[in-house]
């Protein structure tokens, strides 16, 4: 299958964004308040970008945003990624939040890329995704999460989150972005394991 350069570029940006957030959080340069301010700024830029072609912003969005969302919700992927990160930082202990962001960073991106290029078997929960992509995402998410939590916890959280990523959840007839679902499911699994195991 021909390499979709646009999707590779999008997922590479996704990984770089996640790694930057993790590095800044670990080094206490970034916290929930600063992330919230960045999120609000991103939402304002998105609103302005719907009406105006902001010079540098528009060029950036054209590089990384799908055409359909470029017109309706510019920066949707980045904004939902920031929302997912902010939610886990507010809801869970630091190590759980960091592990959840790692699962989002690697699991979600790798599952898309691997599934796009090597996926052969359709996922039973979503015919648009592949089992191969889902497994590859779960493995890479697990490896990243192990930096912050135990291997068993990382394994269960990653596989649980990537299973949830395959399910298409809807609220008010809108699909809930997997950038929000993945870290919340991972964080919830890690939290429950900490309480009950």
- Is residue 106 within 8 A of residue 144, CB to CB? The reply is yes
d(C-alpha 130, C-alpha 50), whole Å: 33
Phi then psi for 170, rounded to 5 degrees? -125, 140
Report the range of poorest mean pLDDT among 6-10, 106-110, 177-181. 6-10
Separation CA 144–CA 133 (nearest Å) = 17
0.95 cut: is pTM over it?
A: no
pLDDT at 156: 97
Structure tokens at 5: 């350069």
pLDDT of residue 145: 98
- Percent of residues, the chain, with pLDDT higher than 90: 55
Cβ atoms 39, 79 nearer than 8 A = yes
pLDDT at 144 > cutoff 90: yes
For the chain, give every domain's residue range. Answer: 5-196
Quickly tell me which residue has 């960091």 as its tokens.
Answer: 98
The residue-averaged pLDDT of 125-153 equals 89
- Is the model's pLDDT at 9 over the cut of 80? yes
Residue 122 has pLDDT above 80, yes or no: no
pLDDT number for residue 123: 64
Instruction: Please give the share of the chain, as a percent, with pLDDT higher than 70.
Output: 95
User: For 101-111, what is the mean pLDDT?
Assistant: 93
CA-CA distance, 182 to 160, in Å (whole number)?
A: 9
Q: What is d(CA 122, CA 65) in angstroms, rounded to the nearest whole number? A: 25
* Per-residue confidence (pLDDT) for residue 1, from 0 to 100: 43
What are the pLDDT digits (tens) for 37-77? 999 999 999 899 888 888 888 788 877 787 778 778 888 88
Sign of the Cα torsion 196, 99, 74, 2 reads negative
Q: Is residue 2's pLDDT more than 70?
A: no
């Amino acid at each position: 299958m021909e390499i979709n350069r646009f999707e590779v570029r999008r997922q590479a940006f996704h990984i770089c964004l996640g790694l930057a957030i993790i590095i800044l959080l670990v080094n206490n340069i970034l916290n929930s308040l600063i992330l919230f301010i960045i999120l609000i700024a991103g939402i304002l830029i998105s609103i302005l970008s719907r009406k105006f072609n902001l010079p540098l912003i528009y060029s950036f969005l054209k590089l990384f945003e799908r055409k359909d969302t470029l017109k309706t919700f510019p920066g949707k992927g980045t904004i939902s990624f920031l929302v997912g990160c902010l939610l886990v930082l507010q809801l869970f202990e630091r190590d759980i939040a960091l592990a959840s962001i790692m699962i989002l960073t690697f699991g979600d991106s790798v599952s898309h890329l691997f599934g796009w290029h090597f996926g052969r078997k359709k996922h039973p929960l979503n015919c648009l995704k592949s089992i191969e992509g889902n497994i590859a995402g779960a493995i890479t998410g697990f490896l990243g999460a192990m930096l912050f939590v135990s291997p068993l916890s990382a394994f269960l959280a990653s596989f649980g989150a990537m299973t949830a990523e395959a399910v298409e959840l809807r609220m008010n007839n809108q699909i809930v972005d997997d950038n929000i679902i993945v870290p919340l499911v991972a964080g919830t699994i890690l939290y429950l394991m900490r309480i009950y195991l």
